[in-house]
Structure 1
Amino acid sequence: MALKSFVLIITIFAVVTSISHASDPSPLQDFCVAINDPMAAVFVNGKFCKNPKIVTAEDFFRPGLNVAGDTSNPVGSAVTAVNVNNLAGLNTLGISFARIDYAPYGLNPPHTHPRASEILVVLEGTLYVGFVLSNPGPNMKNKLLTKILQPGDVFVFPIGLIHFQLNVGKTNAVAFAGLSSQNPGVITIANAVFGSDPPINDNLLAKAFQVDKKVVDYLQSQFWWDNSYRLV
């Protein structure tokens, strides 16, 4: 009996520990400027790190977020991301940033960030934003939480949940977002489901969405726009 209790305690501890480490790990040093050349590296903390002796302020600097993104696309929005892939000094810091531009009635389509929560602040315009909670249980619908945001308003999207923003005004809108990962990732729902390569079996999707297979074939034939791009 004592052995079973001990095994149970160890199992619970392992699960709790794994959950508590489900986000970016805490850094073990001041910084670790990411570098692609391991021959020039000194420390390894998630990525090869640039020798601290040759680190400069430029490794922690990225201009360009004053420039509006190109919203002349089918969804009418553009996400300009700043993450570890274009700002090496973010490595191990557990944060990233983005500017989102919206044309009138432009949409940042339903999507998720698998590795980060997001905090959004509106700079210009009026946004209708929201997120959907995870599956609640049998015979229950996923709850939708929404809000109309004005300039200066802040809204938070929990990690992994499907969320969106829609410009409900007649003028351009601008928002900035902070994310709790150096590389939060993004899964745009429509793109992933109907625009995957190779395509998901249309019979499978027809059954999943309870629609005729012709509807799925039509959706899979469309061009699914990626409204995110990175600073260069």
Structure 2
Amino acid sequence: MASSSSFLLVALIALASWQAMASDPSPLQDFCVADNSSHVLVNGFVCKDPKEVTAEDFFLAAKLDMPRDTKMSKVGSIVTLLNVMRIPGLNTLGISLARIDYAPLGENPPHTHPRASEILTMLEGTLYVGFVTSNPENKLIWKVLNKGDVYVFPQGLIHFQFNPNPYKPAVAIAGLSSQNPGAITIANAVFGSKPPISDDVLAKAFQVEKKTVDWLQAQFWADNHN
């Protein structure tokens, strides 16, 4: 009995230690401004010498109050993402921001953020939004948002936003829990990969004829990120 208790104690300690190692480390300094000139590859970005840090490292004149032109977007939306590549001071802070402009009947198509959860705040207009849970349920959890409403998309889950109004645009601001959240647009990744995924693979996966897959792969899958 004593040996069983000892084993359980050791297992709990090991689990706690693993969880501690698996989580993001606590910052060891005030900030770690990304040094974009460094050629050292790490999981993130090398820190700039603190003596060379200026206010400009934490600033960007993004003009987020100005509407974006969605006319050239095939899907009718423009995502203006402010991540560590645009604001070096975001490095290691675990946050980023995006403005999303939607044309009438425009959408931010189904996509995932592999490294971030998202909280979306409606500024203007109306959006039909939702996300799909993982296998085997694949449950669609959706809502219609109006000005001032807030919605959360859990990390890694496929989600979307659609403006159902045929006459008025919509605008939203999104906060993301990573300095570099990433985005995988499902249609682009599946049918627009380079080199393309075998049509045999996709035909079986989607249970369609190969000529349908070939037609989809021949389309121009545009990126709506600015």
TM-score, normalised to structure 1's length? 0.86
**Does residue 164 of the first structure (1) align with residue 160 of the second (2)?**
yes
Deviates more, 1:69-78 or 1:200-209: 69-78
Encode CA deviations 1:17-49: one digit per residue, 9 max, x unaligned: 455x2xx5432211111113349x9xx994222
**Equivalent in the alignment of 2:115:** 115
Q: Specify every segment of 5 or more residues in structure 2 that has no aligned partner in the other structure, as ranges.
A: none
Structure 1 residue 9: deviation in Å?
4.7
Assess, with a 3 A threshold, how the Cα gap between structure 1 residues 16 and 25 changes in structure 2: closer, same or farther: closer
Structure 1 residue 67: deviation in Å?
2.7
Cα separation, 2, equivalents of 1:26 and 1:167: 39
Contact 1:27 1:45 in 2 (8 A): no
Structure 1 residue 54: deviation in Å?
2.5
Q: Specify every segment of 5 or more residues in structure 1 that has no aligned partner in the other structure, as ranges.
A: none
Cα separation, 2, equivalents of 1:33 and 1:8: 39
Counterpart mapping for 1:1-232 below 5 A: 8-9=11-12, 12-13=15-16, 16-17=19-20, 19=22, 21=23, 24-38=24-38, 46-64=44-62, 65-72=64-71, 73-136=73-136, 141-169=137-165, 170-229=167-226
Cα separation, 1, equivalents of 2:217 and 2:135: 26
Q: How many residues matched?
A: 219
Structure 1 residue 13: deviation in Å?
4.3
Give the aligned CA root-mean-square deviation in angstroms: 2.3
Q: How much identity, in percent, do the aligned residues show?
A: 65
Greater strand fraction, Structure 1 or Structure 2: 1
Structure 1 residue 58: deviation in Å?
1.2
Cα separation, 2, equivalents of 1:45 and 1:207: 36
Cα separation, 2, equivalents of 1:123 and 1:101: 10
Contact 1:118 1:179 in 2 (8 A): yes
TM-score, normalised to structure 2's length? 0.88
